[in-house]
DNA sequence: CCAAAAGTGTTGGTCTTACACCCATGC
DNA sequence: GCATGGGTGTAAGACCAACACTTTTGG
């Protein structure tokens, strides 16, 4: 994810180089921010983390965690920092969602915001509450409150992207613990997709893909123990899963 | 860390809390630019527009057209402006590709760049040459020269995205004139995908989808006239095509 | 022995792929 | 009449969706 893009030295040689070479130097220009949609599995379905805006005219409204991109950090790093600050989680899976930059997103100042999706492994955790960060809470994605700014749009796009990628990547491994049962895997799919899948077809398909490997031991509960599996590879793979 | 300071005081948590703090804080922050990969159909396959960097250490190198995003325009508008300035084309199909923003892309000024894909209808046109913009040329995507900055990466990502979207959207309509023959449509797919498709299967599949409508008349050449078709809708549709 | 979840196969329909021949036209 | 691209059908295999019963365990 880290975009170490070497634009090179004087980037003002961008394609349209000449145009902005000197002229735009030192002129007011948009701020750059990130907004992060952090998804996690809760007991009752897929959750997303929201924070309550503490100041300004929109105080009290809910929004996704986010903040400015510093001069010396990439948007990816800024997104990772935001996730860590709000959840304490490091090494979440992060991927860029879309960049929103309309001049009227926020009437008070021009902000171009790079939205990210983050997937937190192993279910929701207690978010960090503090005066610094204000109230933060996990909401069921099906019952999000009204969101500030254009975050409603971000929410819809994030969920659509996540659902789409479930079908053709191994992205789901970022929502699961290292080992899991096939039923847990299926429940994860069902929680994200918000629809039921046929157990027999699901198991056959997933096993046939060869992405999983059997792990020793079993999950024991009140009933018949379930075999444990893990993803053979956690690096992103593009394959037709569903 | 300077990271924290950059982001402002208390609650950078608010994704946009930061935003309304922005006006009060005047500190250096990254520039925002766009880079546009303009695709068009040429007689011998898919083309992309490149401009030659005229100034700076990389002068002489090729890159995609791009430029800074002004305070009062959206990245989308900036991308459209770039395309128009270099090609004279308005109303191209534009879609966001990815945002690149590593801090070390430019030692002198930090630039976060939003990359776009643009599709020019009706084949390549003579690009605008001028002292302001320098030399601009259409290159076959299979034989792009070495590119400045990380534009090689942008090129690979743009082509991969375009190919992927051919299979599940009606995006191809943005590369074609209003009416076209099925053979022209197939050639467009083949040019982008760089592989051959079976004519009978292709025609059956496309017609079965119901996205096309027959147009009166026929394309006459040296041989049997070909029926003309048009897309029923040009608004983006998500459907499995291939 | 009962409840609850784990585990397993088959079948019918649909979709995909591969492939060969006739048609309409301009020259 | 012939060269060229336009237009059509079919058959075999792969894939997908629907569906019910047996197994294992804890209590």
Question: Which residues lie closer than 8 Å to A156 by C-beta, 6 or more apart?
Answer: none
Model confidence at A130, pLDDT cuts 50, 70, 90, reads low
The arithmetic mean of pLDDT across residues B89-103, rounded, is 93
pTM attached to this predicted model: 0.89
Q: Which residue of A has its CA nearest to B10?
A: A132
Flag if B109 and A25 touch (Cβ within 8 Å).
yes
- Rounded CA gap, B73 and A29, in Å? 10
Nucleotide minimizing C1' to CA distance for residue B183: D6
Domain extent listing, chain B: 3-167, 169-231
Per-residue pLDDT band for B21 (boundaries 50, 70, 90) equals very low
The average pLDDT across A101-120 equals 88
Window 213-232 of chain A: CB closer than 7 A to strand C:
218, 221-227
Strand partners, B40: B47
pLDDT at B106 (0 to 100)? 66
**Residue B104 pLDDT exceeds 80:** no
Residue A113 has pLDDT above 60, yes or no: yes
Nucleotides of C under 7 A from a protein CB: 3-10, 16-20, 23-27
Listed in sequence order, the residues at least 6 apart from B106 whose beta carbon sits closer than 8 Å to its beta carbon are A7, A8, A9, A10, A11
10 Å Cβ neighbour count for B14?
32
> Distance in angstroms, CA of A199 to C1' of D19?
11
Give the residue-averaged pLDDT of A76-93: 92
pLDDT per position as a tens digit, A12-57: 333 333 343 334 456 788 999 999 999 999 988 999 999 999 888 8
Do A29 and B113 contact (CB within 8 A), yes or no? no
| Closest-CA distance of chain B to residue A114, Å | 8
CA of B56 to C1' of D13 (A): 60
CA A171 to CA A82: how far, in whole Å?
Answer: 21
For A52, nearest residue in chain B (alpha carbons): B14
Cα of A109 to nearest chain B Cα, Å: 6
In A, which residues are within 8 Å of B3 by CB distance? 70, 72-73, 78, 81
A32 strand-pairing partners: A112
pLDDT computed for residue A241 by the predictor:
92
d(CA B114, CA A177): 34
> How far is it, in rounded angstroms, from Cα B236 to Cα B172?
10
Structure-model confidence comparison of residues A242 and A178, the more confident one: A178
Q: Are A93 and A174 in contact (CB under 8 A)?
A: yes
Find the helix or strand (DSSP H, E) in which B5 lies.
helix B2-7
Pick from A11, A165, A242 the residue to mutate for testing the B interface (most B CBs within 10 Å): A11
Among chain B residues 128-187, those with CB within 7 Å of any atom of strand D: 181-183
Residue carrying structure tokens 């090494």? A91
For range B175-179, the mean pLDDT: 95
Q: How many angstroms separate the CA atoms of A163 and A165, rounded?
A: 5
Q: Which CATH number fits domain A169-231: 3.40.50.460, 1.10.10.10, 3.30.1490.20, 3.40.50.920?
A: 1.10.10.10
Phi, psi of B119 (to 5 degrees): -115, 120
Say which DSSP state A152 is in.
H
Fold held by A3-167: Nucleoside Triphosphate Pyrophosphohydrolase (3.90.79)
What is the percent of chain A with per-residue pLDDT over 70, rounded to a whole number?
86
Confidence of residue B14 (pLDDT cuts 50, 70, 90): very low
What integer pLDDT is reported at residue B68 of this predicted model? Answer: 93
Active-site residue, from A12, A73, A135, A184: A135
Spatial neighbors of B81 by CB under 8 A, at least 6 apart, are B67, B73
Calpha distance B17→B8 (Å, rounded): 10
> Beta carbon of A143 within 7 Å of strand C?
no
Tokens 């892309």 correspond to B105
- Determine the pLDDT at residue A33: 96
Q: Where is mean pLDDT largest: B84-88, B160-164, B221-225?
A: B160-164
Instruction: Give the number of other CB atoms < 10 A from CB of residue A88.
Output: 11
Q: What's the pLDDT at A6?
A: 35
Inter-chain CB proximity B86 and A16 less than 8 Å: yes
Q: Which of A19-28, B84-93, B101-110 has the lowest mean pLDDT?
A: A19-28
B135 is catalytic: yes
Half-sphere exposure (CA, 13 Å, Cβ side) for B48?
A: 26
Whole-number percent of chain B with pLDDT over 70: 86
Check whether A94 has a pLDDT greater than 60. yes
Cα R_g (chain B), whole angstroms? 21
- Total residues found in chain A within this entry: 242
Residues in a beta bridge with B93: B119
Q: Which residues contact A127 (CB under 8 A, 6 or more apart)?
A: A49, A86, A87, A136, A137, A138
Whole-number average pLDDT of chain B: 86
A204-215 pLDDT per residue, tens: 999 999 999 999
Q: Which of B133, B159, B140 is nearest to B42 (CA)?
A: B140
Is the C-beta atom of B200 closer than 7 angstroms to strand C?
yes
pLDDT at B56: 81
Bridge partner list, A113: A33, A100
**Burial readout B27-42 (b: 16 or more C-beta within 10 A, e: otherwise):** eebbbbbbbbbbbbbb
């Amino acid at each position: 994810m880290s975009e170490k893009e070497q634009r090179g030295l004087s980037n003002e040689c961008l394609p349209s180089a000449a145009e902005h070479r000197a002229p735009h130097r030192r002129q007011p220009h948009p701020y750059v921010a990130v907004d992060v949609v952090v998804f996690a599995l809760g007991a009752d379905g897929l959750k997303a983390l929201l924070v309550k805006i503490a100041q300004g005219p929109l105080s009290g409204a809910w929004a996704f965690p986010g903040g400015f991109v510093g001069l010396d950090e990439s948007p990816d790093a800024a997104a990772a920092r935001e996730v860590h600050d709000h959840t304490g989680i490091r090494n979440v899976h992060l991927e860029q969602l879309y960049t929103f930059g309309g001049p009227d997103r926020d009437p008070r100042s021009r902000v171009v915001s790079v939205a990210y999706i983050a997937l937190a492994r192993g279910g929701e955790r207690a978010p960090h509450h503090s005066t610094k960060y204000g109230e933060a809470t996990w909401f069921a994605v099906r019952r999000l409150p009204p969101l500030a700014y254009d975050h409603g749009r971000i929410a819809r796009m994030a969920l659509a992207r996540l659902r789409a990628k479930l079908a053709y990547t191994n992205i789901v491994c970022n929502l699961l613990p290292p080992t899991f049962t096939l039923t847990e895997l299926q429940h994860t799919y069902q929680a994200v997709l918000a629809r039921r899948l046929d157990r027999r077809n699901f198991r056959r398909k997933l096993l046939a893909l060869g992405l999983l490997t059997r792990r020793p031991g079993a999950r024991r509960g009140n009933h018949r123990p379930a075999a444990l599996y893990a993803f053979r590879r956690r690096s992103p793979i593009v394959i037709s899963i569903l």
